[in-house]
Amino acid sequence: MTPPEAPDTGIASAGDTPPAVSVCLKVLTRRRDFLAAARARKQGSKAMMVQARPRKPDEDVPADVIRVGFTCSKKVGNAVARNRAKRRLREIARLVLPIHGKPGWDYVLIGRAGETAKRDFIALQSDLKHALHNLHTPRP
């Protein structure tokens, strides 16, 4: 079933404008991708741990794609608490990664016990931005 077409009034509303950055986000699903990210760079913050790695050119993923994975251990809480933390991580990744992430990289966001679900949403976004900045800054 296809949704009905919106009438063309010639005026674009704020929700109709395309994103400023045309980047495609894909979700990591294979264990080996998570393990490869775990062996790469890490940056912790109060609410999450971010693991990041640049993909190799021989991998069969388009170079303009940012891949992201989410995980929370049982230390975060029961299934309800883990799912809530992952929902929040997914939303901040959707908002922040197209702007501050780099195409050709894989990111894994790991929730922290007691912090990811309770931290202010704006603070969560700034935590991710800060972690990405530190991960992409060249090391001496």
Torsion on CA atoms 34, 40, 44, 48, rounded to nearest 10: -10
In the prediction, which pLDDT does 18 show?
45
pLDDT score of 8: 53
Kindly calculate the radius of gyration of the chain based on its CA atoms and give it in whole angstroms.
Answer: 17
CATH of 24-135, one of 3.30.230.10, 3.90.400.10, 3.50.50.60, 3.40.190.10: 3.30.230.10
Q: At what angle do helices 79-100 and 121-136 cross, to 10 degrees?
A: 50
pTM: 0.79
Each residue's pLDDT, cut to its tens digit, for the chain (140 residues) gives 555 565 555 554 455 444 555 557 889 889 999 999 999 999 998 889 999 999 888 888 888 889 999 999 999 989 999 999 999 999 999 999 999 998 989 999 999 988 888 899 999 999 999 999 999 887 77
| Domain chopping of the chain, boundaries | 24-135
Q: What pLDDT, on a 0 to 100 scale, did the predictor assign at position 1?
A: 55
Per-residue pLDDT, 17 = 47
- Report the Cα 65 to chain-centroid distance in Å: 12
Neighbouring C-beta atoms of residue 69, cutoff 10 Å:
20
- Alpha-carbon distance of 53 to 70, in angstroms, equals 15
In the sheet that holds 41-44, the strands lie side by side as 24-27, 65-71, 105-111, 48-54, 41-44
Residues 88 and 118: beta-carbon distance below 8 Å: no
Q: How far apart are CA 24 and CA 59, in angstroms?
A: 17
Supply the pLDDT for residue 138: 79
